[in-house]
Structure 1
Amino acid sequence: MPDATSPVLPVGAIREALEHILASTDFDASERNRRFLRHVVEETLAGRADRIKGYSVAMAVFDREASFDPQIDPIVRIEASRLRRSLDHYYLTGGQDDAVRVSISKGGYVPTFTVKEAADPTIDLPGAALPASPPRPADPVSIGPPEAHPVRENLGRLPRWLPWHVILVAIVALVAVWRLGALPWPPHAQTEATRRQGPAVVVAPLEEGDAEAARLHLGPGLTREVIAALSRYRNLFVFGNDTSLQPAPGNSADALARQLSADYVLSGTVSTTPDRIRLLVSLVDARSGRHLWSQSYESPLVPARIVDTEADIARRVVDSVAQPYGAIYVDKISGLTGKAPEQFSSYECVLLFHAYWRRTDIALYPSARDCLERTIIDDPDYADAWAALALTYADQVRFGIQAGSGVADPLERALPLAQRAVSLAPNAPLGYQAEHLVFWLRHDVEQSFAAARAGLARSPNNAELLADLGGRLCLRGQFDEGLPLLTAAFDRNPGQSTIYRLGFFLAHYMAGRFEDALTEASRIDQRENRFTHIAQAIAYAQLGRKNEAAAELDLLLKLSPDYGDRVVSDLQDRNVAPAIIRAVVEGLRKAGLSVPNAGI
């Protein structure tokens, strides 16, 4: 029902919006939640919004008996939460340009209908108080001619005097014709490289292991949540709910894999105890049947919070499978052995970048950079390739890599690459991570932190961004904010680069907890990174273990023979807080390194 500030919308326009939602593959609701949405919309349009209660919905949509008690059976509350999530997902994906929007606020089941404010004068509603549009990312530095959108460009030329509902009908008609193929798709939608830049994953319907799991419909609910979480990873091609949950007898993991030519199948079983939900899930190579990974996840069983619990379990599953250095990465990176980088696909080039990035393996740097240079030409819409290339150029400055790139100022090259990545994929985290690093190396610390926070606002569980921001906050001595981010990063992706543990090391070292500092330093496995040896040398020195400190110092000087003369400038170039620089220099001197007095 419209609120006091909403324009009064024609019933026909609302019904068209409803049908558009229900027909969209981006609306990932179950069949009964589609009935749920249709029921509450039609009841509201019929003037019976006051009758939409948990009891009436249970009877009309979920086939409950007259004895239904919403205090005992939480089915309507659970499914309403799932329906709200499906609507949120729809308006973040295929429905982001819909003129009429349908929503169901928490605490009730009556829908509201609003009009999205247009970015150009396509829809004109005189006198209507519309909500402000969310801020858009800043325009990036241009690296090529912008790609025109054939429908949106023409809509911008519509005359303002046309009635808004006529324009709305025209929009729906254009989209329908477009989908039927009478109008050309944007060029990037036609390429196989764009359709499947990375491996294809199908989620088999998660089985329900007991009656309570079946009563709460945990299998379909968790399956949908896992698919939604996997879909956020743009390097994966993920088959949607309609594929995974189709009511067919051959819907087993093996049958789905054969039918769809998938690379991986994720399957599992969900069960309950009186107070917990447990999911046992496995990843299988769809072609060989080889079992790659399995793990169990548990969460408290609270009926009123079932949907939030499903989302949390799904996030943990997908973090383990799909994040960089997760189960799919481990399998795919092993398949690159013996294959020349010139033969890599776009996805494999990004995979090679992650192999270099995880350990800062300088030997891989030229191949990764050259592979990415080729990728942005062959696959110019691949946002992660632009971001990865920006990060490789930034590393020339960060680690002093001399790789014959022919670029006079790598940071000047890196910034527009990062901005291009954000422009191509405003909700993907890697572009923001690249901006974060480039601004950091340009000594624009506030802009660097702003880029990382913008990325986390769109992808709050991304382990790499959490670790990058947390680690650099620690370099600035801001441990109260940085350490929780680092902890969350390693909770979400324990297999990521161990160099991020420098933040934990510094926190212990600055607090005088030198044994704990040494433990953290020993967990860093990047022996070609000088900061590994600096951390261990100063921790050993503070503990009085002179021989071990001297050994680490020797390894440091093999990597950087003149490091004693430039340690202060090196740390200042990395925006390290002055107090931390003084503490590191004091530790290096105690380890036996000659450091000139630079007035610090």
Structure 2
Amino acid sequence: MSLPFGQIPELVGCDAEQAGEALQRVLASRSFQAAPKARDFLRYVATETLAGRGQRLKEFTIARSVMDRGTEFASHTDSAVRVQARRVRLLLERYYAEDGADDPIRITIRKGSYVPTFSASTTTPPQDEPATEWTEGPGLIIGRFVDLNSPDGKSAQSIGAAESLAHAFSQFPGLNVYGPISLTADDLGPGKEFPATTLRAQYLLEGSVRVERERLRVTARLIDLETSRLVVATTADRDLEQFSGFQAEGQLASEIAAQLGDYRGDLQRDLARPGRSARLPSTYQAMLLFYDYLDHNTQASAAAAEQALQAALSDEPGNPLLLAMLASAQVAMTETGDAGQAPALLAAVKANAAQALSIRPSGLAYTALSRAALLESDFATCHQEARRAIALEPTNPTVLFLAGYLLAHHGDWTEAINLIDSALRLNPRMPTYCFTLRALGSYLDGRWADALADAADTPEPHPYLGAVVRALALYRLGQHEAAVTNLAAAMAVSPHLEQIVASSDLYPEQVRRALLDGITEAKGVLPLADPPATHT
């Protein structure tokens, strides 16, 4: 029997019976069937709410009722409930964008609350148009993580590790994340229909947790479900003294997810290998061309990605991930292309990024707008959009690097270098230029050995910078012969080196001054040959 309107404040334009039917549709959906912990979480909070007990839902009661936590549960050291709530919100968003696009009742859980609201949908898609289902990249199942210290392999730490990894991977656009599911590679190998085939998943992440010698270690193995091949295994650990409870696991999960799930991570690189990429849908291949542009950062790679993404969007108009990628490729073409085409390209960047953000916000779209503002010398907007990207995806190394690079322009140099350092700690496979900017920061701090370790030759737009930082670090370390070689290399690429540094808008005044003073001092001491004459 349905409850009357008004008795349960979380029912908006529907009754309890209609809300219960909506709940069953969501729980039976593909996404929630593949995420049993999230399904149990939603079932519990929704059932309690429909029973009129929604206001009693607190973190402690959910932890004990759903997360198998005991009376010792402490929310300040155990983030399991908050992690699972974020996961449920993401799955609900995916469900209503795909299978549930035409559901008459929608379930939402606002941030900061665990009480769901059931609302009658105010918009109904035209009946002659199918519900929108966008390609978002490969599918990844978060499988079982075993506690090697536990006789049965199960513990709060192993369960928490899987939950934290599911949340951490879900922060990366371009991945469809399912689980955690208590299964291993043996359950999901070739020929096994569920859930790999049903979910169109290509990869499984399984692994273990162990506490040994006062360190918490999480080991993860990425498995190719098509062949049962081990793609990569990675390990992250921390001293237990530094963390308590699930805070450690959350940080370790972010580190593992960054190494595997980032645009330059092992999963995307494996997907791009020649034998496999040729069998992927055209939309995936357009995404892979975008990842290739991120790796090489050339006009040609940006143009190839832009062309493929335009074609993919003709098949999937409105796909927010493709729109954000397109805006990023177009702004790169603006930076290095024909100045006459810049106004039209910048207009396209802003339109595509704005459309992507209106559908589903992403750090990639915000950084595209930030880069467009930089090209227009609108530094306030540049910094504002970069900070929005950081706030949205604080553990995405590509976003952190781009935001750091953007904030370095007439911004806070220390903040910029700290962001770049965070990106490199999360994923050491960042572009060479990322290391060179960190090397410059180390040089300015007087850490010359660290600067030398990071400095490397860099691609455009600053091909001289790696050689200059290497030369100055070597000079400070007393290795003058090697310093001469590197400074000569920088001057061969950029004969008017001091003039280029002085006019660069990348560096704040104090950074430019330190570089120029170092170059002048080194040139006065080192036996440099005259640079080759240039001819007009």
Which secondary structure state, in structure 1, belongs to the residue aligned with residue 455 of structure 2?
Answer: helix
- TM-superposed deviation, 1:586: 3.7
Contact 2:208 / 2:219 at 8 angstroms: preserved in 1?
yes
Instruction: Give CA-to-partner distance per residue, 1:46-94, whole Å, 9 cap, x none.
Output: 99x69x9979996x88999xxxx824xx4x9799964454334333552
Please give the TM-score of this superposition, normalised by the length of structure 2: 0.73
Contact 1:18 / 1:102 at 8 angstroms: preserved in 2?
no
In structure 2, the residue matched to 1:294 is: 233
Letter in 2 for 1:356: Y
- TM-superposed deviation, 1:593: 10
- After superposition, the Cα gap between the structure-2 partners of 1:368 and 1:14, relative to the gap in structure 1 and judged at 3 Å, is same
- TM-superposed deviation, 1:499: 0.8
- After superposition, the Cα gap between the structure-2 partners of 1:292 and 1:586, relative to the gap in structure 1 and judged at 3 Å, is same
Map 1:150-161; keep pairs closer than 5 Å: 152-153=122-123
Q: 2:412 aligns with which of 478, 485, 491?
A: 478
Which secondary structure state, in structure 2, belongs to the residue aligned with residue 583 of structure 1?
Answer: helix
Contact 2:223 / 2:232 at 8 angstroms: preserved in 1?
yes
Which secondary structure state, in structure 1, belongs to the residue aligned with residue 92 of structure 2?
Answer: coil
In structure 2, the residue matched to 1:233 is: 172
- After superposition, the Cα gap between the structure-2 partners of 1:417 and 1:62, relative to the gap in structure 1 and judged at 3 Å, is closer
Please give the alpha-carbon distance, in whole angstroms, between the structure 2 residues aligned to 1:507 and 1:277.
31
In structure 1, the residue matched to 2:87 is: 89
Establish whether residue 223 from structure 1 lines up as the match of residue 162 from structure 2. yes
- After superposition, the Cα gap between the structure-2 partners of 1:533 and 1:287, relative to the gap in structure 1 and judged at 3 Å, is same
Establish whether residue 392 from structure 1 lines up as the match of residue 341 from structure 2. no
- TM-superposed deviation, 1:153: 4.0
In structure 1, the residue matched to 2:132 is: 188
Please give the alpha-carbon distance, in whole angstroms, between the structure 1 residues aligned to 2:71 and 2:421.
40
Map 1:537-576; keep pairs closer than 5 Å: 537-540=471-474, 548-549=482-483, 551-556=485-490, 559-560=493-494, 566-569=500-503, 571-572=504-505, 574=506, 576=507
- After superposition, the Cα gap between the structure-2 partners of 1:348 and 1:39, relative to the gap in structure 1 and judged at 3 Å, is closer
- TM-superposed deviation, 1:491: 1.4
Please give the alpha-carbon distance, in whole angstroms, between the structure 2 residues aligned to 1:43 and 1:362.
60
- TM-superposed deviation, 1:327: 0.9
Which secondary structure state, in structure 1, belongs to the residue aligned with residue 168 of structure 2?
Answer: helix
- TM-superposed deviation, 1:376: 3.6
Contact 2:327 / 2:350 at 8 angstroms: preserved in 1?
yes
Please give the alpha-carbon distance, in whole angstroms, between the structure 2 residues aligned to 1:105 and 1:407.
43
Instruction: Give CA-to-partner distance per residue, 1:376-433, whole Å, 9 cap, x none.
Output: 43443343443333333433454x446x99556643443333333333431x221112
State the structure with more CA Rg.
Answer: 1
- After superposition, the Cα gap between the structure-2 partners of 1:289 and 1:449, relative to the gap in structure 1 and judged at 3 Å, is same
Which secondary structure state, in structure 2, belongs to the residue aligned with residue 265 of structure 1?
Answer: strand
In structure 2, the residue matched to 1:317 is: 256
Which secondary structure state, in structure 1, belongs to the residue aligned with residue 331 of structure 2?
Answer: helix
Establish whether residue 206 from structure 1 lines up as the match of residue 137 from structure 2. no
Letter in 2 for 1:425: R
Letter in 2 for 1:445: F
In structure 1, the residue matched to 2:71 is: 70
In structure 1, the residue matched to 2:534 is: none
Map 1:42-81; keep pairs closer than 5 Å: 45=53, 70-71=71-72, 74=73
Which secondary structure state, in structure 2, belongs to the residue aligned with residue 288 of structure 1?
Answer: coil
Q: 2:427 aligns with which of 486, 493, 511?
A: 493
**Where in structure 2 are there 5+ consecutive unaligned residues?**
1-5, 97-104, 532-536
In structure 1, the residue matched to 2:9 is: 9
Instruction: Give CA-to-partner distance per residue, 1:217-238, whole Å, 9 cap, x none.
Output: 5444433433333333332233
Which secondary structure state, in structure 1, belongs to the residue aligned with residue 428 of structure 2?
Answer: coil
Please give the alpha-carbon distance, in whole angstroms, between the structure 2 residues aligned to 1:519 and 1:53.
46
In structure 2, the residue matched to 1:456 is: 390
In structure 2, the residue matched to 1:372 is: 309
- After superposition, the Cα gap between the structure-2 partners of 1:335 and 1:104, relative to the gap in structure 1 and judged at 3 Å, is closer
Map 1:397-546; keep pairs closer than 5 Å: 398=335, 400-401=336-337, 410-426=345-361, 428-474=362-408, 476=410, 478-522=412-456, 526=459, 529-540=463-474
- After superposition, the Cα gap between the structure-2 partners of 1:406 and 1:445, relative to the gap in structure 1 and judged at 3 Å, is closer
Please give the alpha-carbon distance, in whole angstroms, between the structure 1 residues aligned to 2:174 and 2:469.
35
Which secondary structure state, in structure 2, belongs to the residue aligned with residue 263 of structure 1?
Answer: strand
- TM-superposed deviation, 1:41: 4.3
Contact 2:413 / 2:508 at 8 angstroms: preserved in 1?
no
CA-atom RMSD in angstroms: 4.9
Which secondary structure state, in structure 2, belongs to the residue aligned with residue 319 of structure 1?
Answer: helix
- TM-superposed deviation, 1:496: 1.0
Contact 2:211 / 2:217 at 8 angstroms: preserved in 1?
yes
- TM-superposed deviation, 1:443: 1.6
Contact 2:439 / 2:469 at 8 angstroms: preserved in 1?
yes
Which secondary structure state, in structure 1, belongs to the residue aligned with residue 220 of structure 2?
Answer: strand
Letter in 2 for 1:419: A
Please give the alpha-carbon distance, in whole angstroms, between the structure 1 residues aligned to 2:54 and 2:276.
64
- TM-superposed deviation, 1:492: 1.1
- TM-superposed deviation, 1:325: 1.6
Which secondary structure state, in structure 2, belongs to the residue aligned with residue 188 of structure 1?
Answer: coil
In structure 2, the residue matched to 1:580 is: 511
- TM-superposed deviation, 1:542: 5.8
Contact 2:145 / 2:158 at 8 angstroms: preserved in 1?
yes
- TM-superposed deviation, 1:506: 3.0
Letter in 2 for 1:188: T
Map 1:68-147; keep pairs closer than 5 Å: 70-71=71-72, 74=73, 82-94=80-92
Letter in 2 for 1:433: T
- After superposition, the Cα gap between the structure-2 partners of 1:56 and 1:411, relative to the gap in structure 1 and judged at 3 Å, is closer
Please give the TM-score of this superposition, normalised by the length of structure 1: 0.67
- TM-superposed deviation, 1:100: 7.2
In structure 2, the residue matched to 1:330 is: 269
